[in-house]
Structure 1
Amino acid sequence: MNIFTLLTSILLLSGPASAQSADLFPLDPVTYFCARWQHSSAVKNNILYINGGIETFNYPGAFRTNWTNNTLGVNTFLLEVDLTASWNWKTNISITALNKTANPKTGTFNPNFVRGTMFQGPANDSRIYFYGGTSFLGNESFLGIDKGSSNQYPLWSFNGSNAVWDQFDIHTLWRPSFGAAAEAPDQGLGFYLNGQLDNGTSTETLAVGETTFYLDGMMVIDLVNQTANNISTAGIRNYLPRIGGGMQYVPGVGKSGVLVALGGQVDDSKISAITKGRLLNFTTVDVFDIASYIENPSGNGTWYSQTTSGAFPLPRTGFCTIVASAPDNSSHNIYLYGGHNPFTSTIYDDIYVLSLPSFTWTQVYSGHSPRWGHTCHLVANRQLLTVGGNLSNRSSSANGCDWEVKSVAILDLNSLTWGSVFDAGAGEYELSAEITATVGGAAIGGATKKTPDGGWDNADLGAIMSMTRIYSNAPVSTTPIPSAPSSTKSPTHHPSRLSTATVIGIAIGSLTALIFLLLLSLYLLHRHNLPPFRRLRPRHELEDTGKGELEPGKEKTKLELAGTEMRAEFPNSMVRAEADRDTVTYAVELPANMGRGAMWGVPVIKEPEECYSGGGKEWTGEERVKKEKGN
């Protein structure tokens, strides 16, 4: 039990009058868990990490003696779930809530954001990484709410070996949120496609008001050297910036694997506040050839679009994906689970599989407990582990707490059976009968369907998909990604061990050079009568350049920001940001799933009758149990 949980427990035991004081302490997201969504998560070294996210807490509120007060707030801890041994989440799961500590170099804390992402990082790196996100402003009185954070440090890390937090200036202009993320850990690369800006993404975007802007470009983040590069996404066919979609790394094809972008929400209008936008369907997906970028880092890489076939999922956002390849690499299967349609208030409890290289969809599951805003991971060879999710269209989860009382669930991919048991020693992944009926072959592989039904939309993509690549999770020591233009960092290389004599020689030479430079510096300082030291502004504070401030007396203000970065255009009297890319940028607004009292950063979802013309009905607790049991 951590100190905050202990103090809160003491206050609760002291009587109703002290229950109000519980609001003074961060709420333990494990002990008082009710529901969790729009968080980020990653698996590293047999540990599941969960960070941030909106959460409802079940704890006695002011003058209450029962546990029925669902308090809306955020998760202010980093959660760890042990995956080294088997467990049953109903009986013996181990979940630890770690207090976030300040970065010892800057004194700042990792913000408690939502709609961000987490990267596991290279195998030989003991850190996990956090990128992007926005503030949850639905309950600003909740302790731990972050009202924006400087754009200077959109990338953070947590070292699992010594519990140290760190932050990195990767020379980007904006912190995005609600974009599609993927990771190639075998190459030390993270990817973040499009996303949005709002008044919760940073302190610099507070001026945007109650408007959301889509971002252009895809960030390629070098997790070995902690640098980043923004590349154009204008090469995507029928391109519009998107939010709320998914992107999955498929390592088994091409020279360096591919990224598959799925679904999401766009707006066909080029100006803000005109339409509600629309959802992308799954009849076409976009594929990025990673090798095309690695071989030419100064370019934008190559995107392909491919028509799909089979049983398509309905358009949606807020879903999660994983990939599992057949034992013989004859097929690579992307599992898409859950999600919702924000325009119709529809939530989904289904699983579809996109099998490559045939680009064929197969529905493998349909249930009665829908959720959105969750995350999922492939663990122990063949198990889909899901984390959290909202069960309703109201951010207060008014229809009750998550019936998965520990915020996790397990699906065995071979049998397509849901359960509460995580099997750390599960056998190898095999294809289910539903998938083999689509792609041919048997459970262990041998797929016979190797091309799309309508042929390849581009012959070059066909050549890439026919090239088998052996996935390796070996340590990554260097990547070819260049530093950002304004960065002075050079790629970090890890040469073989030097001899003792060489090390001693280098040390003596370095010491001699250092003494010489010190003496020269003291001489020059004395000659010019300069003070020997100069107090520098801490790196976690923004320099007072005025670039982030509105110019008084001007109707239209312009932020001129150097470098290459995702960019957004702000119409009318809003701030305008520019970057040196020739890509098309659109400024659009989030669709009208915003109800009265919504705070920008994360919408407060209202009752269907309040937000949607078609009306709707929330499940009662009794109805929900019946639906979950299939009655």
Structure 2
Amino acid sequence: MATENIVLLTLALLVDLSIQQQKDPLQDFCRRFGQQTAVIDRNLYIDGGLVNYNPLTQNPRNYSNPNLLYADLDVNNNGMPQEYDNLTKPADAPDVSGGVLWADTVNKMLYLYGGEFTQGSPQSFSGWAYDAIYNRWNIIKADPSQGQIQRASYGGGIAVQDGATGYYYGGWLSNASVPGWGSNRPMALSSFLEYDMLQNTWSNSSGPDSTGRAEGVMVYIPASDRGMLVYFGGVQTPYTNNTIIGQDMDDILLYDIGNDKWYFQKATGQIPENRRRFCAGVTWAQDLSSYNIYLYGGLAATAGNAFDDVYILSLPSFTWIKWYPTTPGADYPHHSMTCNVIDGAQMIIMGGTFPNSTACDIPTNYGMHNLDLGQQNSQKAKWFIFRPNITTYQVPSAIISAIGGSATGGASVRAPSHGFDNPDLQTYFQRTYLPPARSPTRAIPTSTSASSSSASSKSNSTSVGAIVGAVIGGVVGALLIAGIIYYCVSSRKRKKRNTAAKEQQEMAMKPDSVDVAMGP
């Protein structure tokens, strides 16, 4: 019987592999969820996760995504950044869901930690890094400090640039992430990991208490002496038993980096329902008088319901504000998406899986949606097309109504309504942190654009001279042919582009459909 099971499993894996090889990650796209994302320069990198192929009725399985893709923030595709799939990823690099990509934006490196394996048995933990300049994955030589590190999944992960440090709080250990875990129940961790990207060293310390937590979110704010980490949401397993309960959304955990100390703070206001597998991103007023965390969607903590809403947690008043929707209407609840704040002004929400719908998630834009965090558009819309030239944040009226001030800052409410739960927090939130500039530790070429080099010198060793010669020769002939073709079809193409642009702008005002690029 065991032999038959092995044979059946092997056949199933071969079938899955065959289907994966036949599908194009962009042309056949239907849904993406559980992925890891990070931004370096003007590229949003997308690694791993699970995918569904179009049409969903014929491809109901969740397939592991073996690709590393990226979206060029400066190339428009129907109101969203254009996505590409021409980056390399070796077969032995982990394809996981629920991990984190720590970005070293100065050295142009991505470090992959954590995650679950959907296909096959989990690999033993080893560090992997992606070089965004040379389009190359590398196994990181293990440091002795790595010896006790295990691969966790769906914890709170964030990279802090001034120290080139990756942080990871909580998460699950299970048979999908740890070899030899067997039939043991998944365990939520109470530990706190730090990874020094420059020194390749790890430290594993205790978190704020002995309670295991997972599936929440952690963000960084430039408060106190060296910045603070803010964690909230998800589920927890109390130390006394294995019961999984929701982490109340008014319980906010804070880690002060400079003083290496954890704090708890109660929030008030329009508190969201308990949830997990949501995503969030943070931005702040120009004068740092408020730090505003935007939360989207998620799955109910202990039930099967999901959410299609946006809440804002404004610090240091610790006030929750419901931002979307403000009126009843059709919704499309989903979870397991990622949020990336771009230039502090917009937040790209990528992917998610829809438990109550069989529709695909905007195949033309590969499941990307955009929040205009300051509503800096002529319609004052919250969901709007992505615009790469918006590089500053304006505090929206909903936050100003709650904490005072103006679009540029000047918040008058800078403490919780019932006071800080620890007097240290009052002191820390009176200070702001300006991170010092950090120099790269390796030579950085002038151009580091993935879109401009991934198809040439990044992935092959062809000489630059040979490429230039071939290009020049080809261009001369191509220009003669292109001139004739252009004369014949340019008028038709202009008409089609104008029609498509008009339709896309009309769609931007309809955030009530799963097939709308700007809406949820």
Q: C-alpha distance in 2, partners of 1:306/1:342?
A: 20
Aligned to 1:417, what secondary structure does the other structure show?
Answer: coil
Q: C-alpha distance in 2, partners of 1:93/1:336?
A: 21
Aligned to 1:25, what secondary structure does the other structure show?
Answer: helix
Render the CA deviation track for 1:119-176: whole Å, top value 9, x for unaligned: 111x32121111111111xxxxxxxx3421112x0x3111111111112223333111
Render the CA deviation track for 1:271-305: whole Å, top value 9, x for unaligned: 44xx3x2101122201100001xxxxxxxx21011
The aligned residue for residue 485 of structure 2 is none
| Cα 1:118/1:146, change in 2 over 3 Å | farther
The amino acid across from 2:419 in the alignment is: G
2:457 is the counterpart of 1:457: no
Q: Give the Å deviation of 1:470.
A: 1.9
* Paired residues for 1:264-413 under 5 Å: 264-268=234-238, 270-272=240-242, 275=243, 277-292=244-259, 301-366=260-325, 368-392=331-355, 399-403=358-362, 405=364, 406-413=366-373
| 1:44 alignment partner, one of 40, 44, 53 | 40
> What is the total number of aligned residue pairs between the two structures?
423
Q: Give the Å deviation of 1:216.
A: 2.9
In 1, are the aligned partners of 2:311 and 2:322 still within 8 Å (CA)? yes
The aligned residue for residue 243 of structure 1 is 214
Q: C-alpha distance in 1, partners of 2:75/2:370?
A: 12
Q: C-alpha distance in 2, partners of 1:52/1:310?
A: 36
The aligned residue for residue 466 of structure 2 is none
| 1:126 alignment partner, one of 77, 94, 108 | 108
2:222 is the counterpart of 1:259: no
The amino acid across from 1:254 in the alignment is: S
In 1, are the aligned partners of 2:227 and 2:256 still within 8 Å (CA)? yes
| Cα 1:348/1:472, change in 2 over 3 Å | farther
Q: C-alpha distance in 1, partners of 2:94/2:358?
A: 29
The aligned residue for residue 156 of structure 2 is 180
In 1, are the aligned partners of 2:235 and 2:247 still within 8 Å (CA)? yes
Q: Give the Å deviation of 1:71.
A: 4.0
In 2, are the aligned partners of 1:34 and 1:70 still within 8 Å (CA)? no
The aligned residue for residue 477 of structure 2 is none
Q: Give the Å deviation of 1:392.
A: 1.1
Q: C-alpha distance in 2, partners of 1:230/1:267?
A: 19
Q: Give the Å deviation of 1:209.
A: 1.9
The aligned residue for residue 115 of structure 1 is 98
| Cα 1:347/1:101, change in 2 over 3 Å | closer
Q: C-alpha distance in 2, partners of 1:400/1:472?
A: 47
In 2, are the aligned partners of 1:111 and 1:146 still within 8 Å (CA)? no
2:50 is the counterpart of 1:54: yes
The aligned residue for residue 465 of structure 2 is none
Aligned to 2:427, what secondary structure does the other structure show?
Answer: helix
Q: C-alpha distance in 1, partners of 2:344/2:313?
A: 19
Q: TM-score, normalised by structure 1?
A: 0.63
Q: C-alpha distance in 2, partners of 1:449/1:428?
A: 22
* Paired residues for 1:612-623 under 5 Å: none
Render the CA deviation track for 1:72-101: whole Å, top value 9, x for unaligned: 211110011101x251446x8421114544
Q: Give the Å deviation of 1:466.
A: 0.8
The aligned residue for residue 560 of structure 1 is none
Q: TM-score, normalised by structure 2?
A: 0.76
Aligned to 1:460, what secondary structure does the other structure show?
Answer: helix
Q: Give the Å deviation of 1:307.
A: 1.3
Structure (1/2) with the larger strand percentage: 2
Q: Give the Å deviation of 1:51.
A: 0.5
In 1, are the aligned partners of 2:217 and 2:279 still within 8 Å (CA)? yes
| Cα 1:50/1:216, change in 2 over 3 Å | same
In 2, are the aligned partners of 1:185 and 1:473 still within 8 Å (CA)? no
| Cα 1:433/1:128, change in 2 over 3 Å | same
| Cα 1:89/1:109, change in 2 over 3 Å | farther
Render the CA deviation track for 1:436-483: whole Å, top value 9, x for unaligned: 001101111110001111111111111111112124564366xxxxxx
Q: C-alpha distance in 2, partners of 1:271/1:422?
A: 46
| 2:134 alignment partner, one of 155, 162, 167 | 162
In 2, are the aligned partners of 1:409 and 1:418 still within 8 Å (CA)? no
| Cα 1:189/1:476, change in 2 over 3 Å | farther
2:167 is the counterpart of 1:191: yes
Q: C-alpha distance in 2, partners of 1:42/1:193?
A: 18
Render the CA deviation track for 1:230-274: whole Å, top value 9, x for unaligned: 0111x34xx4110111111112x11110001101111236344xx
In 2, are the aligned partners of 1:88 and 1:420 still within 8 Å (CA)? no
Aligned to 1:364, what secondary structure does the other structure show?
Answer: strand
Aligned to 2:258, what secondary structure does the other structure show?
Answer: helix
* Paired residues for 1:439-478 under 5 Å: 439-472=403-436, 474-475=438-439
Deviation larger for 362-371 or 311-320: 362-371
In 2, are the aligned partners of 1:112 and 1:146 still within 8 Å (CA)? no
The amino acid across from 2:296 in the alignment is: Y
* Paired residues for 1:512-591 under 5 Å: none
| Cα 1:435/1:379, change in 2 over 3 Å | same
The aligned residue for residue 488 of structure 2 is none
| Cα 1:268/1:472, change in 2 over 3 Å | same
Render the CA deviation track for 1:547-583: whole Å, top value 9, x for unaligned: xxxxxxxxxxxxxxxxxxxxxxxxxxxxxxxxxxxxx
Q: Give the Å deviation of 1:208.
A: 2.4
Q: Give the Å deviation of 1:222.
A: 0.6
Render the CA deviation track for 1:345-389: whole Å, top value 9, x for unaligned: 221111111111111111111272222100011114411111111
Render the CA deviation track for 1:400-453: whole Å, top value 9, x for unaligned: 221364111111111163556321111421000000001101111110001111
Q: C-alpha distance in 2, partners of 1:419/1:304?
A: 34
RMSD across aligned C-alpha pairs, in angstroms?
A: 2.8
The amino acid across from 1:42 in the alignment is: A
| Cα 1:224/1:24, change in 2 over 3 Å | closer
What stretches of structure 2 of length at least 5 have no aligned partner? 1-14, 444-511
The amino acid across from 2:431 in the alignment is: M
| Cα 1:209/1:627, change in 2 over 3 Å | same
Render the CA deviation track for 1:604-631: whole Å, top value 9, x for unaligned: xxxxxxxxxxxxxxxxxxxx9599899x
Q: Give the Å deviation of 1:70.
A: 3.7
